[in-house]
Amino acid sequence: MGESEFGNEELAAFIERSAAMLADVGWPRMPARVFIALLVSDSGRLTAAELAETLRVSPAAISGAVRYLSDTQIAVRDREPGTRRDHFQVSGPMWQQTVLSRQRLFERWADALAEGIEVLGADTPAGARMRETLAFFRFMETEMPQLLAKWRTHLAEKGD
C-alpha cells in the first residue's frame, strides 16, 4: 500500500464519516473504521501494520478490531505462503453474513418478546405492543432467507 492510497485527507475523512454511520447503527467504532479502510483500499487486503498506519492507531487497537470482524465473518485473515505477516480482507459474502447475523438477533428478540407477552398478558396495552413487535420480527425471520435467495439469484444473473 503506497502513501498515495491513504495519504489523502479527504479519504481519511470519508473513512471516519462512514465508520461513524456504522457506529450509529451499532457497530463498535474501531471495527467499523477497520472495515471501511479495508473496503476502500485498492487491494482489498491490508496488514495490521498498514491498518494501524492508515487509521493512525496502535497495533493493539487493530488487533481487537480485526478479531471482532473475523468473529462476525465480515473480514478474513490470511497469510501468503512463506511470509509471517497476516493480511486482512473483507469476506466475499460479508453483507450476507451481516444480514444473517441480524436474523439470529431477530430470532432472539422474538423469543424474548414472546416471553414478555406471557408475562404482561396478551390483552394488556403493553402486551398488544409486544404482539405487534413480535409480528414484525417473525415477518423478518420468514422474509430474510427469501430476500437473500433473491440476492444470490441476482448476482448469478449479473455474473458478479
The string of pLDDT tens digits covering residues 32-58 is 999 999 999 988 889 999 999 999 999
Query: What are the angstrom distances between the C-alpha of 20 and each of 7, 13, 26, 33, 137?
Result: 20, 10, 10, 8, 26
Sign of dihedral through CA atoms 130, 115, 147, 100? positive
The answer to whether 106 and 133 have CB atoms below 8 angstroms apart is no
Strand-pair category, 45-47 with 86-90: antiparallel
Fill in the amino acid letter for 148.
L
* pLDDT value, residue 7: 57
Per residue in 113-147, pLDDT (tens digit) is 999 999 999 999 999 999 999 999 899 888 888 88
Crossing angle for the helix pair 29-40 and 9-24, to the nearest 10 degrees: 130
Whole-model pTM? Answer: 0.68
- Indicate the class that CATH gives domain 3-90: mainly alpha
1-5, 14-18, 137-141: lowest mean pLDDT where?
1-5
Look at 9-23, 31-45, 144-158 and tell me which has the smallest mean pLDDT: 144-158
- What are the cell numbers at 21? 454511520
